[in-house]
Amino acid sequence: MAKILNFGSLNLDQVYRVDAFVQPGETKSSLSLETHCGGKGLNQSVAAARAGAEVWHAGLIGCDGEMLCDKLRENGVNLALLERSDGVSGHAIIQVDNSGQNCILLFGGTNQALTEAYVDRVLEAFGSEGVVLVQNETNLVGYIMRRAHEIGLQVAINAAPMNETVFSYPLDLVDWLVVNEIEGAAIAKCAQEAQILPTLQLKYPKMNVLMTLGKRGAICARGGESAKSGIYHVKVVDTTAAGDTFLGYFLNEALDGKRLEEALRLATAASSLCVQTKGAADSVPLRKDALFALESGALGSLGEWGGWR
């Protein structure tokens, strides 16, 4: 069973349904407002746990964060290493339009208040077996990666949201990099998509890469092997957490020694179910539902991989 320590962001997602995104200088009314549990970190913990991994979530919540803990707990995520801090939890203002696409504004809150002492405490308690997972929504990402590597843990990073700080991280220590094509191109410093994976693997020989390509599917490379997948064409209600679902499922399968094709297939099925439901963590499907969708053919046939741009 995959064992994952996720030093992950936790957000209260304020989700506004709109007919079209607000434009610069415009004021408009939303159609509805809902609060959901989210944050790339929390969503990925829920996804990996629902996929079957043993997940420990480390991170900080503020005075308003109990519902975030409840969500993780009800999904079987171990919270022994999560702590409470002064201030408010991270939150996200999310607009979701009629086509199910979103745009997201983040406020870091306690996600940005990790201390080195806390990181050290967590790593010491967790031990040296398993994988540390980070996203780019907390502070001290580079420090976590270095310390985790020093004690013998594998390192997985979802370099999202992409910004300049990613270049300061010790990417040579990464075992699993998860990116979309824009993040991948920025990290590889590569204009041609087809060159992103070979460039990364040349520069960082031990790095395995999963790159998602939106409607074109996904591609991954582990050591000398690689695999690609298209998508299922389903009705999209809300894409929030689709990438997190893909990551959680894929990582669990890959760490569990599954073939890359199999890992991609299950992750694709899981994220296809995710986009058909509103919300973030709540839209991550259970493993049994993802497997049933695959086996019953309920998602239709898997499309061809969409190729490079």
- Contact residues: ligand RIB, CB under 6 A: 9, 11, 13, 38-40, 43, 92, 104, 137, 240-241, 243-244, 280
230 token code pair: 């298209």
201 vs 252 by CB, closer to ligand RIB: 252
Q: How far is the CB of 86 from ligand RIB (least distance, A)?
A: 21
Residue 12 or 294 having the CB closest to ligand RIB: 12
Whichever of 15 and 263 has its CB closer to ligand RIB, that residue is 15
Residue 284 CB, nearest approach to ligand RIB (Å)? 11
The contacts of residue 108 (CB under 8 Å, 6+ apart) are 90, 137, 138, 139
Q: Cβ closer to ligand RIB: 90 or 153?
A: 90
104-128 burial, b at 16+ Cβ within 10 Å, e below that, comes to bebebbbbbbbeeebbeebbeebee
Q: How far is the CB of 38 from ligand RIB (least distance, A)?
A: 2
CA 217 to chain centre: 16
Residue that is written with structure tokens 């962001």 in the block: 9
> Among 71, 77, 65, 83, which Cα is nearest to 4's?
77
Q: Which is nearer to ligand RIB, 85 or 212 (CB)?
A: 212
CB of 59 to ligand RIB, least distance (A): 12
Cβ distance to ligand RIB smaller for residue 123 or 244: 244
Let me know: does 275 contact 236? Beta carbons within 8 Å: yes
Residues 6 or more apart in contact with residue 225 via CB below 8 angstroms: 260
Shortest CB 226 distance to ligand RIB, Å: 25
Nearer to ligand RIB, 13 or 173 (CB): 13
Residue nearest to ligand RIB (CB): 38
- Which H/E stretch holds residue 133? strand 131-135
- The least distance separating ligand RIB from the CB of residue 41, rounded to whole angstroms, comes to 8
CB of 92 vs ligand RIB, minimal distance in Å? 4
3-class DSSP state for residue 264?
Answer: helix
3-state secondary structure of 15: strand
Going 245 to 247 to 252 to 253, the CA torsion angle's sign is positive
